[in-house]
Structure 1
Amino acid sequence: MSKQANPLAIGLFLTGALTLLTMGVMIFGGGDYFKDKNRFVIFFDSALNGLNVGAPVKLQGVQIGNVSEISLVMETDTDRIYKPVVIEIDPALLRNTSGEESHGHTKKQQQEAAQRMIEAGLKARLETQSLLTGLLYVDLNFYSDKPINLVKLDYKNLPELPSVPTTVDEIRNTADEIINRAKQLPVEETLKNLSDTLTEIRNLLQSDNTKQSMTALAKSLQETQKLMATLNRQTEPLLSNANGALTDTRATLRDFNRELLPVLRAAEQSLTAATQVLQESRHTLNAVETLADADAPLNQALLEVRNASRSLKDLAEGLERQPQALIYGK
């Protein structure tokens, strides 16, 4: 007869097996259960089809965390539905320039870190992991040219990161905006005006006045062609005569140049001689001016001659009055 199994031993065995299994999962699972992670919340306006819990969170293509929670929140005042997505970021994967882990485990540190990243332009966007599966992941990147849109809804007291629409949503929004603007255009009125304009043009073309004008225009064109032909026939002799006149004028100018060249050379020689005569005349005038100067010897000699002449004149007048003075003296 077989021995009955002890329930206590079985229970202890199962408990020990479960404990070992749990420890193995925690140890070989990378120790994620013992790591402190920074948690943030993101509110997406886009549909979350394909985004699952555990989806990767990447910063410029490098995975730094995963999605830990996806929820729906309805605001009772406005009946608006929000879709908060909670992400967990492993601070061990974010290091500074010294290679040290970034610290930010406390609530205040996480809020300060989130504010710094927001000011630097960090925003979240949903991207496709695979076109075949349609799965999404959260891509963090810096979009400084896009506005900061924060819901500012306190969700589990977590710091919020802004989001931007997906590329598909941006294309869809742009297309919707174009369609809305096109709908606002007065298309029916424009088409009606165009139809009326085409009708008036057709009536104008089919009118008798237009037909008469077209006939007159055709006649005018024919007469213009005849006139142009006549002008062409008459212009050719005129052009030939003008060409001959130009040839004669060119020959006359050539002969004139040949005859004018000796005259110009003679005039140049005459000018040269006149220039030399002027220079010699200038030297002569300078010499005359020098002789006519008050201090010049010639001027002094002339003064002495004048004085001597005056003395001789006085002597002659005295002798004329008293001739005996020449014998007896004065």
Structure 2
Amino acid sequence: MHSSRKISAVWLIPLFALLIGLWLAYRHLSSFGPVITLHMERADGITAGKTPIKIRNVQVGLVEEVSLSDDLSHTILRVQMIPETESMFNQETRFWVVKPRIGKGGISGLSTVLSGSYIELEPGDSSTLKKQFTVHDTPPAVDPDNALFLRLTSTPGSNINNGDPVSFQNLKVGQVIETSFDPASKLFRHRLFIEKPYDVLVTRNTRFWKVSGVGFQLDASGFQAQINSLEALLGGGISFAVPDSNMLPGEPAIDETEFMLHDDKEAARQSLYTETAKFVVLVKNSIRGLSNGAPVEYRGIRIGTVEQAPWTLGFEGTQGLGQQPIPVLIRFEPQRLNNGAVVDPRHWHEEFERLVNHGLRASLKVGNMLTGSLYVDLKFHEDAPQADLTARHQSIPVFPSVDGGSLEKIEEQIHQLLVSLNDVPVQEIANHINENLENLNAITRRVEVLLADPAMSQLPQLLTDNLKALEGTLEGWQSDGEGQQHLIGTLEKLNHLLNEAEPLIDTLNQQPNALIFQRHTAEDLQPRGAQ
């Protein structure tokens, strides 16, 4: 009978050590998350073993290796992530470098001055997993689900860059995120976003135009000043609106709708009026002061625009310079008056034909005395000669005009005024003024001599003494003064005397000779008869 072979207890020690080693290896391997690859154009501020990957300032990974691509065109980062981060990596995941920046939007990334740059991670919601990503140099401008993205086209010289603000009535509601130049069309292409809920402000009739910090305009409409935000003052920007209050907004815009970027608000407003009726005004006087874009008004209401002044002048060579009058091309814009509704231009031609028959005429008027700017004014003239719209100039109907008292007449009136001023005897008037000034100077010297006399210094004291004496005299005539008592006694005696003389006065009134003759007349003596 053979006994079973027993395993020595000594072998339990290495077995136990192996189990511990496997467990430690498992713990070590399980402490690592997925490994991803990041691509960057330049690895500025990125250090292997030090640069962290963060989400909301919480570290979720670390750059372990920095290397160059095979073609040396960019850098490659090998990043070790922490466990349970696999679900973060998909097609919508974005990475960007956080470092100190000073831009139009302000100062950002100051916390990295001491700690160093790091890479920010923004997880995506896509179901398509991904392990290789491109690291952007700047953070994403806005959440795609919370903005309306649009495209703009502009001519060279627009001076629009990434980060420029997009504003509505000086309220920043968006930003330019992409700018590129198309050599084939020689146009700039811009991409921008409008944050929600301001996206409802962008409609079919919305127009975009360039803005600067401060803008000035001096034309026939007067002086206008526009002051925008400080951000636009420093770097410019874009503004948008429906630039004509009479125009309806239209349908809301959708993502990636393309608009034209205009040079200013007036150019954007003009682009709204797609339906026009063109006429030629033949001006007999000078058109100096009338520029392209000047308004065409009826009783102060703008209904059109001067398209070109002069128009077709010189097409016939030097002979055209001697011909009169000067053609000016104008256009009427019906959409200014009917909320942007499309109107058949032929209807306006018919309406103007009727109005011209009733005396409607065009003339040049001064819109701004400071600049001499002119505009085209429409007004009814009852005494105007009969006219119609059958005449043509270069196949365009001629709108009848009258002399409206342009700047040329004002200059002539000013010239006549200057001639009248030249006839004024200015030299004679100046001589009289000089004589009067000399007389005034002599009188002034005499007054100075009089004031310098020592007796003048005693005059205030003499006046004071006389006033005191007068005051003493008046005190005696007060209610309890001696002078007043004497006056009252004298008046009483005079009254008594008058009372006693009253009978005598009455007698004299009745018989003025009473002082000579007796008051009562004696009876006449009667002769006696002889006895």
Higher percent of residues as helix: 1
Q: Same fold (TM over 0.5)?
A: no
Higher relative contact order, structure no. (Cα contacts within 8 Å, ≥ 6 residues apart): 1
Q: Which has the larger radius of gyration?
A: 1
Higher percent of residues as strand: 2
TM range (shorter): 0.3 to 0.5
